[in-house]
Each structure stands twice: as structure tokens, then as C-alpha cells.
Structure 1
């Protein structure tokens, strides 16, 4: 049975986030709020937890999961980033953007794209996930909480608990969050002087980054 943590959406209680962090360290998968939807998260280096997250989502190992980092210093440890890419990342973070970047050697093969050797990375703005990342001191692997056969994320934390009560270690309830997905930008196309490629126009503003659209 999943534990249920009701936290303040702006000033989440450190004690509750600490309990949630302990569950992640024990190999659990959690449902947490982000600035673009609720997401499933687990520890990066826990293969069993990663496999369980994929089973909940109904996706195989070809589905690219996202690494959620608290800041750009963490992000740079898992992706190869040049100066142009870094300037764009600095402009867009924290915020509702996901970036596809060349994976560094630090990234386990099971979570990078098997053919392209890329990884999806993001630095969210929501205080709850940022607080959780700060306590953990390490990034988390994440996937939008969309259940098999459905198109939209589950946005009600009580519904998440009801539907996934026996699959999750905990649900962190911070109330409603936007359910519009992140804007996804492929920055690998910037290698050699190209421009970022918009893979999905979502919540993050393209105009704010000078990308039009």
C-alpha cells in the first residue's frame, strides 16, 4: 500500500520529503508533482526500480526515460554539452523543458537511447520535486504518469493513489499541477553549428528561447 504525503506546494515540509527520499533509497517508485504533470520517479542506479517504473507505464526499454536534475551542474555530469548548448540550457532552466542530449559515459546503457546514445534531461521548477532532489543529492529517473492505453497524464493525486496503491511506494500530494507536457528540444542537432530541433511544443515557451513557434 502506497504511503500518502500531503505537502505544501510552495514550501513542502522537509520531514515528509525526507521520508519520501528514504523510500526512493529503498528501491521504491514514487508519484511526484512537477511543473508539467505528475511523474513516476525512481533512483537512477536501481535496475529493479527502473524495470518496475517501466512496467507501471507499460513501456519497454526503447522508451526514453528522462533524468531529472536539480541544476545544470548535475546535468553536465550525464550529458556532453558544448558552449552553445549550455547557453540555451541556462536560459531555459529551471522550467518545463526536456532536452535530448548526447549521453556521457556516466549514464547506464539501460536508460539511454540504444541506437542514438542520447538521453532526455530536465531541470524542473516545482518546489516539491526540487526539494526532493536536494535531499537526495542525486538526480532521479522519471516518466510522465500516463497509464497504459491512456493519452493524458493522471493529474489527481488521490486518483493516483487509488489506481496505483499497490504499485507505488508513495504518492506526494501537492495539489493540482499543469497537465500540459514539457516542450522537448533535441540539442544534438546543434552539433556542427545547427539549431535546436523542436520535437514537441508543450508548456515551455519557444518564443522565450528565441525559437519562434
Structure 2
């Protein structure tokens, strides 16, 4: 059963963050808070962990549309090709509740080599920021959907453990999550195109 670890968003404990990073580095899966819904994540460099997430979501890994959670824009060029216009859009809106779809770069991990596009997220959440910083590379992430018809996403960490505890190694209790996912913006065709309306101001696009 997953370990439930309480971390305070205002001041994440470096000791607890490191403990979770060790789990990620050893191929573990975590459920963690973002600035929108709770996410299911693993280390981008661990193929076994990536396969596990794809299996949980019922998709083929090479076809999966997972997001890459990155620390900031400085290391984005490793995973995505960004022109000046797109860089300005990203700089203006990140960190924030948006997933930006960008053309993939040539440096993508081998399992994602066939993907022409990648989804990039920089959540405005101190826990996810601390995790990515301590890990030293992106977390591959996907939101955890709920079967409940009223609430699409589970927001209570204790309920998340009940439901997902057998599938992951750690659930971070960062307080109640949001039940509105990120807004997805496609930047691959020149002008920004809203693919999914979620949290965040749409008028800026």
C-alpha cells in the first residue's frame, strides 16, 4: 500500500522531498499535488516506471499523451522546440495552470522518439517545483480521473490513497486538490489554440 506523506505547500520539507525523489529514482510511482488536480507521476528517465503509468492508464506508452512537468523554461529546449513567439507566450503564463503542446525536440527519451509533440507544464505549486528541482529532470505526469459522475477528479488525499494506494508507492498529502484540470493550449500551428478549457484565464489567448 502506498505511503501517505504530508507535505506543506508553503514550506515543503527538504527531507520529505528527498525521500520521495529517492522513490522516483528507484522507478517508483507517486501521486502528487499541482496547481490544478492531483497528478500521477514518475521519473522521465525510468522506462519501467513509464510503462507502469501507461499500463495504469490503459494506453500504449509510445502513443500516450503525458505531460512533462519541468522546473522552469531554462531546460525546456531539451524536450521541445521553441520559437521566439512561443517562448514569449510561455514566459508570460508560466508557472501556471496551463499545459502547452509544443513540437518535440530531437533529445526526447527513446520511448518518446516517435512523438511529434509534447505537453509541457510548470505548475505554480511549491511541492511539484521542489520535486522536479531535487530530481534534476522532468516528472512525466498524467491526471488521475475519477469514476464519480459528479466529481471528475478526486481532491482528498486520503480518498486517493484508498483508491490508488495499491498502484503507486507514495501519495503526497498536500491538502485538498482542485477538481478543475489545466487548460491545454496547442502552440504547434502558429497561433495558440485552446484544446481543453480548464483552470486559468482564457482571454489571454
Q: TM-score when scaled to structure 2?
A: 0.93
Matched residues in 2 for 1:148 and 1:29: separation? 21
Give the secondary structure class of the aligned counterpart of 2:39.
strand
Deviation at 1:157, TM superposition (A): 0.9
User: Counterparts of 1:1-213 in structure 2 under 5 Å?
Assistant: 1-61=1-61, 62-111=63-112, 114=115, 117-146=116-145, 152-190=152-190, 195-207=191-203, 209=204, 211=205
Deviations along 1:87-106, one digit per CA (max 9) or x if unpaired, are 00000100000011000011
Deviation at 1:63, TM superposition (A): 2.8
List gaps (5 residues or longer) in structure 1. none
Whether the 8 Å CA contact 1:157–1:173 is kept in 2: the answer is yes
CA distance 1:113–1:146, shift in 2 (3 Å): farther
Give the secondary structure class of the aligned counterpart of 1:81.
coil
Q: How many residues align?
A: 203
Deviation at 1:149, TM superposition (A): 9.0
Deviation at 1:56, TM superposition (A): 1.9
Deviation at 1:154, TM superposition (A): 2.0
Matched residues in 1 for 2:195 and 2:114: separation? 15
Deviation at 1:60, TM superposition (A): 3.0
